[in-house]
Chains A and B, each alone.
Chain A
Amino acid sequence: MLDALLLSRLQFAANISFHILFPMITIGLAWVLLFFKLRFNATGDEKWMNAYRFWVKVFALTFALGVVSGITMSFQFGTNWPGFMNTVGNVAGPLLAYEVLTAFFLEATFLGIMLFGFKRVGNRMHTVATVLVAVGTSLSAFWILALVSWMHTPTGFEMRDGVAHVTSWMEVIFNPSFGYRMIHTMLASFLTVAFLVTGLSAYRLLRGDDTPAVQAALRLGIVMAAVLTPLQIFTGDLHGLNTLEHQPAKVAAMEALWETQRGAPLVLFGLPDAETQSNRFAIELPGMASLILTHDMQGEVKGINEFPGAHPPVAPVFWSFRVMVGIGMLMLLASWAAAWSLKRKGQLPPMLLKGLALMTFSGWVGVLAGWYTTEIGRQPFLVTGVLRTADAVTSVPAGNIALTLALYLLLYAVLITAYITVVFYLARQAGQADSKTSEPTAHGPRVLAGKAATEGGHA
């Protein structure tokens, strides 16, 4: 029987999984658009403006999805997790408030000018608007990741009568995991965008759309991916070591280590079994987990047994971690092969283009897997050591939550399908001469002049 706790968790997971897909694109894509704009300003080369024109459409669509799914998030705290704000509202509230005040209004307002104001404000102001949207999206990431990090590694507060009170805002914001999480997440956003730009450009090339703008975008995407993937692997490792220090139970789950031991093996594959507290069909590399985590083959690594009643479920954390790492390795392989091929031959073989086109949304898989690793890894706590998830849940009847969950899932399934379909449709359209959305109707274009006249006639 599904209870309010499990349903609320599923609903929150569904909402945030859907939401995070879109900011992960807009945060990085905003800076890529700025790059196109600045290159155009500097060189006057039309290809940069053409690249901008195509990608700004993808950006607008993605941004809209990010905004509406974000509004849903802001209500979830109250509707499903009242205990969260009751207990740590003094910490979470101001961080969320600053996100709205400094980031949301900035990006939302200047987005209008960035998208539709080119003819009205002139090139310089339009560039400024693009900068402000890019700054706004990244600033938004700063505040929300400060809160997320604080939930993992809370500092700078004291508990009085069961309620958290802030003692130092600097310690709250710059808590121990914040720096690692911020860099890891920002890089994830840029990587998601790198593969999106590369993949969609490869798709257009495969369809014979060989314009300079597509070539320029492909080149940029490949360079970004080839440089950032190893950087991301490196920061991921640092983030992992930070987690080992502050949330050892999460790392034990990631590595499926049930018992504390020296010379802990790296479990390459296995089926973690919570009943028997062991892994079935395990393929292990002896001593490697100790080497990775302690940089010593004989180092001691804490196992799940150290955290009775306070450790996350092992299997989902173990598996999402492996999916994330797998995507990372695939990205490294693909981006370096593409970069090498581009450098040697100046172009990519069709097989590689196909592979990259298939990887268009690979960043999303990596992001979700990483997100599940870290957030499920925080369980059973909502705020590590301070508040258990079960203690924060609403008293709304389970039936109501099941109903809304079903509605959200249906809506999200429709929207995600529509989004991916339309993004590829835009890519196909962009290749054709009379690109469809370049001049959306109303008073302007010639095509509609005749139609407008007839409509005026029977008024």
Chain B
Amino acid sequence: MLEQVPDLTTAAGWLPLAFMLVMGLAILAYVILDGFDLGVGLLLQLGDGDKQKDTMIASIGPFWDANETWLVLGIGILLVAFPVAHGIVLGALYLPVALMLIGLTLRGVAFDFRVKARDEHKSTWDFAFFAGSLLASLAQGYMLGRFVTGFAEDLWSYLFACLIALGMASGFALLGSTWLIIKTTDELQRRAITWAKRSIVLLAIGVAGVSLATPFVSQRIFEKWFGLENLIVLWPIPAMTAVTFLIAYRSLARLPERLDKDLHDSEWIPFASTVAIFMLAFHGLAYSLFPYVVMDRMTIWEAAAAPESLMFIFVGAIIVLPVIVGYSVYAYRVFRGKATDLSYY
């Protein structure tokens, strides 16, 4: 691996690395933030009646738009920092990308149409919101699976991608249901706990399956993880993931009892541990892929745009990104606490 890394003291050396970091963080932010609102979309049809559905929507109302912007940033950095890879990756993922976009479009507009259209059309838009969220979640997982295998054309690689698609949808459902635990009360909150318990089992099966299968669909990843010296350094990642799963599950199991006693201080633990699971999985994935931006074909340095263009964006990004994080935190603080009805005034 080391022979692929150029001199990092030159701009052409460290800038692609910096952009890979920013791109990784943007995609991680996207997966977690849009993950919880996609997850709420996946669960919407399980809500009992209009009132619960409205509350579920209200819990993500002020956020979903900004959450989706992280996708535009992530894909934007792929586009601007690694233009050659952008074409190869998106060309290879042509159909799933289109399906994801159609899903995101459906759910984004259904969110608004459901309260503005005639009452008799509301259930149709609710279904569109659910279907769009499902389509987008599955497509994203599938694309990740195709990407990891380097777009290999054999049957196992396609099955592997389908497995990740299901795992991704379960993960989003877990994020969504644990988010609802924080944002809702009473019956809906109890239901969210039940949804979370089911999702976490599905996700655990998914993560285990993917972790076991990954090394076999990619020889390179297998060597990376199961070389002797690496095994010693890397074992904390799966170990911590397993522990986090246990924490999340225990907390979910005990939550109804605590809520009965009117103890609300641990409502945030399931969501926080789910986020931790996503971060650990992302970390493992990042380690598996580095330094490739197209698996086994193109490293970040081979795909990078000209240093002077990267520098022009880098300067802006360094100034603007902290501001974005700042006002995003502010917006989440404004709407902290239990979800209230979405009122325009």
Q: Indicate with 1 or 0, residue by residue over A432-444, a CB within 8 angstroms of chain B CB atoms.
A: 0000111111111
B313 touches A440 (CB 8 A): no
Q: Closest CB-CB distance, B332 to chain A, in whole Å?
A: 9
Beyond A68-B104, A70-B72, A98-B313, 6 additional pairs, beta carbon < 8 A: A74-B76, A75-B97, A120-B334, A400-B94, A440-B341, A459-B187
Interchain CB contact under 8 A, A100 and B72 = yes
A394 with B91: CB separation less than 8 A: yes
Can you list 11 A-B pairs with a CB-CB distance of less than 8 A?
A68-B104, A71-B68, A78-B86, A86-B87, A100-B69, A108-B69, A163-B306, A411-B105, A418-B117, A442-B341, A456-B187
Q: Which of A65, A113, A451, A455 contacts B334 (CB 8 A)?
A: A113
Size band of the A side of the interface?
35 or more
| A102 proximal to B (CB < 8 A) | yes
User: Among A65, A74, A120, A411, which residue has its beta carbon within 8 angstroms of that of B335?
Assistant: A120
- Chain B residues, Cβ within 8 Å of A115: 61-62, 342, 344
Assess whether B51 is in contact with A442, with CB atoms less than 8 Å apart: yes
- The 4 A-B pairs of least Cβ separation, nearest first, read A82-B87, A93-B80, A78-B90, A89-B83
Given A64-B108, A79-B94, A396-B91: A96 and B343 within 8 A (CB)? Answer: no
- A118 part of interface (Cβ distance < 8 Å): yes
Q: Which residues of A contact B (CB under 8 A)?
A: 49, 53, 56-57, 60-61, 63-65, 67-72, 74-75, 77-79, 82-83, 85-86, 89-94, 96-98, 100-102, 104-106, 108-113, 115-121, 163, 165-166, 169, 394-396, 400-401, 403-404, 407-408, 411, 415, 418, 421-422, 425-426, 436-445, 448, 451-452, 455-456, 459
A68-B104, A108-B66 known; A74+B72 contact, CB < 8 A: yes
User: Of B149-157, B167-175, B287-295, B323-331, which stretch is located at the interface?
Assistant: B323-331
CA distance A165 to B320 in the complex (A): 24
Residue in B75, B187, B316 whose CB lies within 8 Å of A101: B316
What count of chain B residues pass the 8 Å CB interface test?
78
A407 to chain B: closest residue by CB: B102
Contacts of B343 in A (CB 8 A): 116, 118-119, 438-440, 444
Interface residue? B340 (CB, 8 A): yes
| A70 closest partner in B (C-beta) | B72
Q: Is B296 an interface residue (CB 8 A)?
A: no
Q: When chains A and B are docked, how far (Å) is the Cα of A63 from the Cα of B61?
A: 13
Inter-chain contact total with CB atoms closer than 8 Å:
268
Residue numbers in B under 8 Å from A426 (CB-CB)? 116
The CA of A367 and the CA of B69, in the complex, are separated in Å by: 26
List, in ascending order, chain B residues with CB within 8 A of A112's CB: 61-63, 65-66, 331, 335
Interface 1/0s, chain B 64-98, versus A by CB < 8 A?
A: 01101101110111111101101111110111011
Interface on chain A toward B: helix, strand, loop, or mixed SS? helix
Given A102-B320, A110-B331; A443-B55 close (CB under 8 Å): yes
Within 8 Å by CB of B328, from A91, A105, A418, lies A105
Instruction: Point out which of A72, A75, A439, A452 has the most chain B C-beta atoms below 10 A from its C-beta.
Output: A75
By the criterion CB–CB under 8 Å, are B334 and A422 in contact? no
Measured between alpha carbons, how far is A219 from B180 in the docked complex, in Å?
Answer: 45
Question: B14 — which chain A residues lie within 8 A by C-beta?
Answer: none
| Inter-subunit contact B51/A78 (CB<8 Å) | no
State the CA gap A452–B327 with chains docked (Å). 35
| Given A60-B112, A71-B104: A77 and B86 interface contact (C-beta under 8 Å) | yes
Give A376 Cβ to nearest chain B Cβ, in Å: 24
CB-CB under 8 A from B119, the residues of chain A are 436
Can you list, as one digit per residue, whether each of B91-123 has a CB less than 8 Å from chain A (1) or not (0)? 101110110011011101101110111110000
Given contacts A57-B116, A94-B312, contact A74 B344 (CB under 8 A): no
A54 to chain B, nearest CB (A): 10
Pair B105/A68 contact, Cβ less than 8 Å: yes
| A residues less than 8 Å from B165 (CB atoms) | none
Q: Distance in Å from the Cβ of A244 to the closest Cβ of chain B? A: 32
Instruction: Known A61-B113, A109-B328, A411-B106; judge A117-B66 contact (CB<8 A).
Output: no
Q: Is the CB of B344 within 8 A of A116?
A: yes
CB pair A94 B80 closer than 8 Å? yes
Chain B residues within 8 Å of A92, by CB: 80
Which of A63, A97, A118, A440 counts the most B-chain CB atoms under 10 A from its CB? A97
Once A113-B334, A451-B51 are accepted as A-B contacts, the answer to whether A71 and B341 lie under 8 Å apart by CB is: no
